[in-house]
Amino acid sequence: MADKLKLDKSMAMFAEAQTLVPGGVAGIRRPYNFVQGEYPIFFDHGKGGRIVDVDGNEYIDYLCAYGPISIGYREEEIDNAVIEQIRSKGFCFSLTQPMQNELVHKLKELIPCCEMAAIVKTGSDATTIAIRVARAYTGRLKIARCGYHGWHDWCVEVKGGIPEKFYEDVIEFHYNDPDQLEDILKRHANDMAAIIVTPVGHPLAAEVQMPKPGYLEGVRQLADKYGCVLIFDEIRSGFRCHLGGAGALFGVTPDLATFGKAMANGYAIAALVGKREVMSVLADKVFLSSTFFPNSDAQVAALKTIEILQRDKVLDVIAEKGYKFAAQVEKVLAESGVPARFSGAPWMPFITFPKDETGLYKTLRTEFYTKLIRRKVFLQPYHHGYICYRHTDEDLDYTVQVIREALQELRSLI
Ligand SMILES: Cc1ncc(COP(=O)(O)O)c(C=O)c1O
């Protein structure tokens, strides 16, 4: 087994952070979401597909900042465009700058359901306003939801500090199970405001799922049948699976869709887009405003990112790299005899260990991800990764080799 990494500075910073910030660092970035004691906790810098922690360890990074990095870290063309905007015009004013219109024209050109858009900052902003719009438009209350939609009161998994009544009108359903969804819709027939679903299924710590043939079309039909607004939560899939979102890729058009993460290669921006008739409630009935929403720095970054995605056919390149990687990893997994599964091809690679009665899967998972991080491959045991444009063929080949070695070493445990 490779040696444990030297992480002294990360650990010292974390000890200090715990006296300053509850939990030391925010939510999903906490050490218990990785392998405690084996993963770094603070990064120093990154470039392309690589990151360097505060102890100087360099990794091939497949977490991509949990999704925003579609091209690569410190992408000069994008950073330069933002710097130019900051230096020549400024980006934070009391009124809106013209990039808003330019960006929405672009979104309209690319996203099939987009007749209008509202620009916000985070994915949670976008999904929360989507729900508010759907309720105002339909005059109904209940929401059927499937997937992680952010940290706000109506949908967060950890319910601490949230009155029960805030989520009792939100009913969860399983991905790829239209019958269960229809049961929910039947039960609340006249009170369903919206169905919100991630078009690609990515439940926490479980395999990434692609829609079964006819699934998304079926969800579309159910939304029409029960008169509710269909929302695709494209925060992870947008600008990664397809420029128009996974809905465009799979040929199903929702009424509303939320985009964020990969839209600006790391700059904080998200959008609610959708049909004019539904979006129009935002003009008078529904309030949406926040100090930083109109800032143009991230809008410039989004415009430049989208320009590069189109110009260099970035998403085709990512898909090509991702399929090649997937084929190699699947072969390695099959040869290893280790009970592990690969999912998420081509964009969101994930190696999971199916639950077993003895709980061995937990040991295999911990050991596997420990072996990876010690060999400087940065992935998260409970969350799928991402392929970005700047991952090189050498990075991907090295990673396949590391996975092969790690699985070989796991064989003694099964
Ligand atoms: C599908 C989906 N929706 C919404 C969100 C919330 O986005 P944010 O973390 O930017 O608030 C996320 C974040 O991971 C997400 O994956």
3-state secondary structure string across 119-133: EECCHHHHHHHHHHH
Q: How far is the CA of 274 from the centre of ligand 1 (A)?
A: 18
Question: Parallel, antiparallel, or unpaired: how do β-strands 50-53 and 58-61 relate?
Answer: antiparallel
The predicted structure's pLDDT at residue 100: 98
Angle made by CA atoms 114, 118, 120, in degrees to the nearest 5:
130
Tokens representing 221? 């039909």
Q: How far is the CA of 265 from the centre of ligand 1 (A)?
A: 15
CA–CA dist 367, 335 (Å, integer):
19
Residue nearest to atom 3 of ligand 1 (CA): 149
pLDDT, mean over the chain: 97
CA 286 to chain centre: 27
Ligand 1: which of 129, 146, 148 to mutate, judged by most atoms within 8 Å of the beta carbon?
148
pLDDT range class, residue 405, cuts 50, 70, 90:
very high
CA–CA dist 305, 317 (Å, integer):
15
pLDDT digits (tens, 9 = 90+) for 10-25: 999 999 999 999 999 9
Residue listed under structure tokens 């049909």: 275
Residue nearest to atom 4 of ligand 1 (CA): 149
Ligand 1: which of 128, 149, 237 to mutate, judged by most atoms within 8 Å of the beta carbon?
149
H/E element, 230: strand 229-233
Residue nearest to atom 16 of ligand 1 (CA): 236
pLDDT digits (tens, 9 = 90+) for 368-401: 999 999 999 999 999 999 999 999 999 999 999 9
The predicted structure's pLDDT at residue 204: 86
Phi first, then psi, for residue 153 (nearest 5°) are: -55, -30
pLDDT digits (tens, 9 = 90+) for 173-218: 999 999 999 999 999 989 999 999 999 999 888 999 999 999 999 9
Q: How far is the CA of 401 from the centre of ligand 1 (A)?
A: 32
Q: What is the CA radius of gyration of the chain?
A: 22
Q: How far is the CA of 249 from the centre of ligand 1 (A)?
A: 20
The mean pLDDT value for 230-252 works out to 98
The predicted structure's pLDDT at residue 170: 98
Q: How far is the CA of 152 from the centre of ligand 1 (A)?
A: 10
pLDDT range class, residue 1, cuts 50, 70, 90:
confident
Tokens representing 162? 């949230």
Edge to edge, what strands does the sheet with 377-378 contain? 43-47, 50-53, 58-61, 377-378
pLDDT range class, residue 53, cuts 50, 70, 90:
very high
CA–CA dist 373, 38 (Å, integer):
7
pLDDT digits (tens, 9 = 90+) for 275-294: 999 999 999 999 999 999 99
Q: How far is the CA of 302 from the centre of ligand 1 (A)?
A: 17
pLDDT range class, residue 366, cuts 50, 70, 90:
very high
Residue nearest to atom 10 of ligand 1 (CA): 123
The mean pLDDT value for 211-228 works out to 98
Q: What is the pTM of this model?
A: 0.97
As for ligand 1, residues whose beta carbon falls within 6 Å of it are: 66, 122-124, 127, 147-150, 198, 233, 235-236, 260
